[in-house]
A and B are shown apart, each in its own frame.
Chain A
Amino acid sequence: MEAKKSESENFDEEAEIRRLVRSISLSEKYFLFFASCNQLPKQKDLIKEVKKRLKGKKIEIVEFKEPIKSLLSELRTKIKNKKPDAVFVLGLRYSIPSAKRGKETSFIANLNVSRDSFPEFLECPMILFMPEYALTKLMNGAPDFFSVRSGIFFFENDENIMSRQISQAISLGYDEHNALLVEERRQRTENLKELLAEYQSLPENKRDFKTEFQLKDKLANIYWKTANFSEAERLRLELLQQIEINDDDEIARQFNELAGVYKAQGRYNEAIEKLEEALRIGEKTVGKEHPDYATRLSNLATVYDFQGRYDEAIEKYEEALRIGEKTVGKEHPDYAIRLSNLALVYHSQGRYDEAIEKYEEALRIGEKTIGKEHPDYAVLLNNLAGVYDSQGRYDEAIEKYQEALRIGEKIIGKEHPDYATRLNNLASVYEAQGNYQAALDLFEVALRINEKTLPENHPYTILLRKSVARCRAMLGK
């Protein structure tokens, strides 16, 4: 199948930052810009970076933590007499709910008619940061306001945060492939491919379609886990074609798997489409009160989370938790996984205390069901540490990261990309503390592991190279 053209391929982060910085330097008056970025913590990092590059400019950051009615009147009081060189606005997501019920908020309508009033009191560029869904809502609900823009910048989900989520998604659905190293995975792939080819070359009357189907399914799975998404997609689409017409359960399962492939590629809308389809079928065959239904809901919630549609994500996770509690009970690893996913959303929203509460409950369940020496338990610890990190509670973060590393080392060994990710996380805390030497040491180890275990120029590897360079610069090396 031909690769579909994707609109998101052209947006390189460094180029977008440079464009944003340039747009501010070029503006002599009020100009309106949009910055699409799904992740709240990342928005803040980006602003920090832009601020750094615009040394000497007076940057005003306005962050909203709850819904507002009128951006114009809020800014009037907040910017009054300040005469900034640029204004960044964060947190408009609270005023632009992603759920359908918030169809026409007065905030959006106000924005549309007030577009002429901004240049009257603001004499500098204004950059509105928001998730992509919110941008779409503005475009549809406030087309006039949207039309007076002078540029849009697109920032993709951060790999670092992504790695946290992916590593979680994969490790928590723990299966044999996770423990394999790159070379072993490659061998496994080759074996499966050969086996499949042999099966397929049998004469028509001797072919075993059931086994072929399973082999293909396994192969698709390993492709997905080794980030060979186009192959994974191709195989999944083939599998869908081969399912017997009345096997609804299998169709739903394949849709769910295909959604996973799309999700990993950032093709969120397609992922949602497939998951919704899987849920619709599931509702008919097994009903809503079924663990599979809960799993797919939870997967849907994860996509919403990636899109920054936090309120919908929370809603779906909560429903999945409710179903889980009724079907498999609270003392089940799946229940812990969803608690931890929900906590991730809270973390993204900056609701740290609630996130910690959920992680602590998940850890308690994890300890009872899978025990403390399990890779999933390590992931939970790792994520909890992330919240402490965000809060600036560095000592606690370091403690949890180290424990997660210790467990990981025992099970997946030191030559595993997941291990490198955790090293990277710990190193980031050291860096935040200004302990550049300690950070550098760990970044270098992680980089060495990734260079060995991941395909060449993998995004995580590139990220680690940047981190190493940054620390070296700070140390004057």
Chain B
Amino acid sequence: MSDKLKKIFNACNPNNPADEKYYTDCRKARGGDILARKVQARLDYIEHSYLRFLFTGHIGSGKSSELLHLGNLLKKDTNFFPVYVDVRDYVNLENVTLEEILLAIAVEISDAFQKDLNITLKNSYFEEKFGEVKNLLLTKRKFTKIEVSLFGLAKGEIQEIKQNDEAKRRLFEAIAKDNRSLLDELNLFISKAQLELAKSDSAFTKIVIMVDSLEKIQKFEANTNVIDSHKELFIERNDKLTGIEAHTIYTVPLSLYRSDASPKLLHYYGDVLPLPMVKIFHRGKFNSEYEEGCKAFKEILTKRLGEISLTEAFEDKALDFLVKYSGGNLRNLMLFIQEAIISSDELPINFKTARKSIQPTVRAYAASIKESAYPKLVALDENPKQQIDTEDDSFWTMLENLTVMEYANGDDTNSLDDSWYAVNPVVYEVGKFQTAKEEFQKSKRKSKK
């Protein structure tokens, strides 16, 4: 087996987290700076209240990259000071409490002020609470130059608490026995921070907190399953998440957004944005390539493959095929390449192998699509506006498992809400879809007569 095959296979690891060095700007192809434009448009109008904004999307679709990008934009030329919180650094996803999320926010605010603005925020409440566990942390490391003290501990030390059951217990006890509420204290701390912001010589006046990875929580407080956990955190306890006195953006699970809880989410938070796919073809024209999108995908691939060039790895026709059938989902593209490598002994990957590589996925969809869904899928495919009946629950599952994909027109038009849908290209290969399509066209011809 050639080393190169192995390298390509491993370079397409779908578990690789969003790595900066592979980062490619897909925004234009996705419909522009969709998150940033929406958030900024809202921020511009808000004067006496706080922004509440939910952000969702498929795993690996690039939510974190979009959030980080938004942060950079805000930092560059707005009055809004971004604080990015990845809760994974502070919680064990299999067992999360609200306290941990609030603490994580406080720590990241403190850290961002220190790093970006060189402002040290003091707070006796948090210092006292973290002081309770100081002696329990295993690595009593000396602070290095960059590791400054936040509330009396280094950031790295605070992040260790999540793995230290004893420290966690003591910290929670200390918070619980106090009459002061953690949320109130956090808000006081935020007020102080906003004040410092206004006093500083920077242009910033308001904090925007972006909390990432909330959608990955598996168990929240006393709940026994994931669905209840998500409902509890985002809906039952919405008063906590919406009670933070700063602009906030949270990531929310797609499954919750695509469930009957959706109206409630909109009610409490006002806005939910699902991240669209990268456009690979033009709206309603599967055979008309959207150059920007294809280019972006090939660029990502080039970066991932490193020293192996695209022409060395793929015949042109094969690569075009794989990109097209990914439907604008990067993970699908990676999957198809891996499937192709598993079935091939030589490079470049040829067209025949490329075609074969999508077959297992075709079969999986053929088995999963309900009989009753085919006419709906054909109707979507034949609809020049590429719209679905969003009231029809059966689309929730199909949007979630990517039978149907969501795109945004974005920069092409001035409308912000101009999303459209398409059948996953893989579904075109399913026999029953083809039959349903033929029947549709037959009946259309008949009615014309």
A 379-406 binary contact with B (CB < 8 Å = 1; else 0):
0000000000000000000000000000
Contact A135 B10, CB 8 Å, known A106-B226, A110-B226, A148-B331:
no
Residues of A contacting B200 in the complex (Cβ-Cβ under 8 angstroms): none
**Chain A: minimal CB distance from B32 (Å):** 25
**Contact of B364 (CB < 8 Å), options: A5, A72, A117, A152:** A152
Chain A residues near B339 (CB-CB < 8 A): 150-151
- Count A-side interface residues using an 8 Å CB cutoff: 53
CB distance from A370 to the nearest CB of B (A): 39
Report the separation of the CA atoms of residues A143 and B364 in the bound assembly, to the nearest whole angstrom.
12
| Contact assessment for B10 and A113 in the assembled complex, using a CB-CB cutoff below 8 Å | no
B331-A143 in contact (CB<8A)? no
Whether A113 contacts B216 by the Cβ 8 Å rule is: yes
Say whether, besides A29-B10, A29-B13, A144-B59, A110 and B338 are in contact (CB < 8 Å). no
Is A116 an interface position by the 8 A CB rule? yes
Beyond A146-B401, A147-B402, A148-B60, whether A26 also contacts B364 by CB under 8 A is no
- Interface stretch among B179-187, B217-225, B315-323? B217-225
- Specify the chain A residue showing the minimal Cβ separation from B359: A10
Q: A55: CB under 8 A from chain B?
A: no
In contact, B15 and A148 (Cβ under 8 angstroms): yes
- Flag if A26 contacts B1 (CB, 8 Å): yes
**Majority SS at the chain B contact face:** helix
Contact present for B342 and A19 (CB under 8 Å): yes
Residues of chain B from 416 to 449 with CB closer than 8 A to chain A in the complex: 430-431, 434-435
Query: Which of A10, A72, A132, A143 meets B401, CB within 8 Å?
Result: A143
Enumerate chain A residues within 8 angstroms of B217, measured Cβ to Cβ: 113
B361 within 8 A of A: yes
Q: Which residues of B contact A109 (CB under 8 A)?
A: 225-227
**Which of B45-53, B66-74, B271-279, B366-374 lies on the face that meets chain A?**
B366-374
Contact check, A147 vs B10: say whether CB atoms are below 8 A apart.
Answer: no
Q: How far is the CA of A192 from the CA of B394 in the complex (A)?
A: 48
Contacts of A10 in B (CB 8 A): 356, 359
With A and B bound together, what is the CA distance between A269 and B343 in angstroms? 28
The answer to whether A204 has its CB under 8 Å from any CB of chain B is: no
Contact B9 A27 (CB under 8 A): yes
| Smallest CB separation, A118 vs chain B (Å) | 8
Q: How far is the CA of A112 from the CA of B256 in the complex (A)?
A: 13
Q: How far, in angstroms, from A116 to B215 measured CA to CA in the complex?
A: 12
Asked if residues A4 and B363 are in contact (CB atoms below 8 Å), the reply is no
A151 near B338 (CB under 8 angstroms)? yes
Residue contact B14 to A149, C-beta cutoff 8 Å: yes
Would A112 and B93 be within 8 Å (CB), given that A6-B431, A135-B364, A150-B335 are in contact? no
- Give Cα A27 to B368, complex, Å: 28
Interface membership of A373, Cβ < 8 A: no
Q: Which of B10, B93, B331 contacts A114 (CB 8 A)?
A: B93
Could you tell me the distance between the alpha carbons of A395 and B155 in the complex, rounded to whole angstroms? 68
Given contacts A19-B342, A143-B401, A150-B335, whether A113 and B218 have CB atoms under 8 Å apart is yes
Contacts of A26 in B (CB 8 A): 1, 5-6, 9-10, 341-342
**Known contacts A114-B94, A116-B216, A144-B59: does B342 contact A139 (CB below 8 Å)?**
no
- Which residues in B have their C-beta under 8 angstroms from that of A153? 360
B1: contacting residue among A22, A70, A118, CB under 8 A: A22
Q: A residues 241-277 with Cβ under 8 Å of B? A: 269, 273
Cβ-defined contact, B402 with A152, below 8 A: no
Does B206 count as interface, using CB distance less than 8 angstroms? no
Cβ-based interface call for A8 (8 A)? yes
CB contact list, A114-157 vs B, under 8 A? 114-119, 132-133, 135-136, 139-140, 143-144, 146-154
Interface residue A167 (Cβ < 8 Å from any Cβ of B): no
For the complex, give the distance between the alpha carbons of A419 and B225 in Å: 53
Report the bound CA distance from A72 to B92 in whole Å: 13
CB < 8 Å: which of A7, A106, A110, A148 contacts B14? A148
List CB contacts (< 8 Å) of A8-36 with chain B. 8, 10-11, 15, 19, 22-23, 25-32
A-chain residues with CB within 8 Å of residue B59 when the two chains form the complex = 115, 144, 147-148
Q: Chain A nearest CB: distance from B325 CB in Å?
A: 15
Return the chain B residue nearest A113 by Cβ.
Answer: B218
Enumerate chain A residues within 8 angstroms of B255, measured Cβ to Cβ.
112, 143
- For the complex, is B400 an interface residue (Cβ under 8 Å from A)? yes
Contacting residues, chain A, for B341 (C-beta < 8 A): 26
CA distance A153 to B359 in the complex (A): 10
- Is A441 an interface residue when CB atoms closer than 8 A count as contact? no
Given contacts A109-B227, A152-B360, contact A147 B93 (CB under 8 A): no
**Judging by beta carbons under 8 Å apart, are B10 and A136 in contact?**
no
Please state if B224 and A5 are interface contacts (CB–CB under 8 Å).
no
User: Nearest 4 pairs between A and B by C-beta?
Assistant: A5-B431, A109-B226, A106-B225, A152-B360
Offer 16 A-B interface pairs, CB within 8 angstroms, sorted by A. Answer: A7-B430, A23-B342, A31-B338, A73-B94, A109-B225, A110-B218, A113-B218, A114-B218, A116-B15, A118-B15, A119-B15, A135-B367, A140-B401, A147-B14, A147-B402, A150-B13
